[in-house]
Structure 1
Amino acid sequence: MAEIIGVIEQLWRYPVKSTGGERLDSVEVDERGLAGDRLYAVRDSAGKLGSGKNTRRFRRMDGLLRLSSRLGHRLDGPELFDPLGRPVADPTAFLRAYLQRPDVALAREDAVSHFDQLPVSVLTTATLDWVCGAAPAAVVDVRRFRPNILLRTPPGTPPFVEDGWFGREGSGGGTRLAFVRASERCAMTTIAQPGLPHAPEILKAITQAHGGRLDALAEVVTPGRLSVGDELSLG
């Protein structure tokens, strides 16, 4: 028998990787993930993608998290907004001036995935509430952890309940997800963004208590549509 693990409280999509995202009431989910999620990124002349860290695929570009992006109902290109929330007429020209990098451009995903790890991130309110208690001096907000789904869990649900989902499948709104593992958190959780000051104590608390891991990452098994208010159950 299916076990209801929570109700979708928030849905988030991040049209341009490493920028602030858009909160949705409902969204189509395809094999790649939430439609349009991380579909675009800031790419430099070496082919590396703008991020909060340096890796083989990513290049640290400070300031991206102060921007935001939105697709709305169109998937032909994102709207980009400056740190004051004003729309940008020419995203590539703005990014070159803002980042002081003449070699960057706003680019659509091609052969190189824009995802850090897996395409869908689910975070519970039980775990988010734990972060609030573990870092009481910090301004804790779901935006720091950039999930696609914030799941409202029943009272009494323990933090890190997501760990028990790995190797199982969850379904809601006709969509089926296969839970694989947790995200390995980095300094992105601590970086200042509009309305949220720098908060290094958040990553310190997660690292000490849970090895720096937070949420449940999933692959899409069956595409469908997710909406706020949908129940999510484990099969």
Structure 2
Amino acid sequence: MAEIIGVIERLWRYPVKSTGGERLESVEVDARGLAGDRLYAVRDSAGRFGSGKNTRRFRRMDGLLQLGSRLGGRLDRPELLDPLGRPVADPDAYLRAHLRREDVELAREGSVSHFDQLPVSLLTTATLDWVRRSAPTAVVDERRFRPNILLRTPPGTPPFVEDDWFGREARASNDAGARLVFVRSSERCVMTGAPQTGLPHSPEIHRAIAQAHANRLDVLAEVGAPGLLSVGDTLALH
């Protein structure tokens, strides 16, 4: 028997990795994830992608979180938005000036994935409310955690309920509902408290997560079957 775990309250995609995202009412999902999510990234001359951290694939580029991006109905080229939310005419030139780097450009994903880990992330309101209680002096918003899905859970749902879903599959309630296979949670870093548009520097957020839940928060998923996700859909475990 299916177990309803919540209702999709908000959907987010991030057309340019590490920039602010766009809210959607509905989105197609395929094996790669939400259509257009992290499809583009800021790439440097060494082939590394702009991020909040340094790894073999990623290069820390402070300032990206102050920018936004959107696709609308197009996947061929995103709009890059300045800190006031205005589209910029020449994304590459703007990025070089904004980041103070001459070797960067906007690039579409090729053979190397732009995802840090798995393609879909989900955060519950139960866990987000726990963060608010645990860091009462911080401005807490789901944008700090960059989920694709914010799931409204029933009253009384405990925080970190996402952990209970590892290894299970959920389906959206619409007729063409996508299926998601929950795998594990994300390991968080200081970027959860990094300043971005409308959100000041709040390091206490990361400290709370580190102390209470070993730096982990949300649930990451693979796509079990392509389909549609829409605001207002219920998600049910099968």
> Fold conserved (TM > 0.5)?
yes
Aligned-pair distance for 1:71?
0.3
Q: Deviations over 1:131-169 (max 9, x none)?
A: 000000000001000000000000000000000000111
Partner residue in 2 for 1:197: 200
Partner residue in 1 for 2:120: 120
Farther off after superposition, 187-196 or 36-45 = 187-196
The equivalences for 1:1-235 within 5 A come to 1-172=1-172, 173=174, 174-235=177-238
Q: Secondary structure at the match of 2:217?
A: strand
Q: Deviations over 1:62-117 (max 9, x none)?
A: 00000000001111110001111111001011101111111100000001100001
Distance 1:61 1:114 in 2: 15
Distance 1:139 1:100 in 2: 28
Residue type matched to 1:50 in 2? Answer: G
Q: Deviations over 1:169-197 (max 9, x none)?
A: 11103210110000001122111011100
Distance 2:93 2:133 in 1: 42
Q: Secondary structure at the match of 2:136?
A: coil
Distance 2:121 2:205 in 1: 19
Instruction: State the percentage of identical aligned residues.
Output: 79
How many residues of Structure 1 are paired with residues of Structure 2 in the alignment? Answer: 235
Aligned-pair distance for 1:28?
0.5
Q: In structure 2, list runs of 5 or more residues that go unmatched.
A: none
Distance 1:193 1:227 in 2: 27
Distance 1:54 1:20 in 2: 19
Q: In structure 1, list runs of 5 or more residues that go unmatched.
A: none
Q: Secondary structure at the match of 1:213?
A: coil
TM-score (norm 1): 0.99
Distance 1:9 1:125 in 2: 9
Aligned-pair distance for 1:50?
0.2
Q: Secondary structure at the match of 1:126?
A: helix
Residue type matched to 2:190 in 1? Answer: A
Q: Which runs of 4+ in 1 moved over 3 A?
A: none
Q: Secondary structure at the match of 1:50?
A: strand
Distance 2:180 2:217 in 1: 18
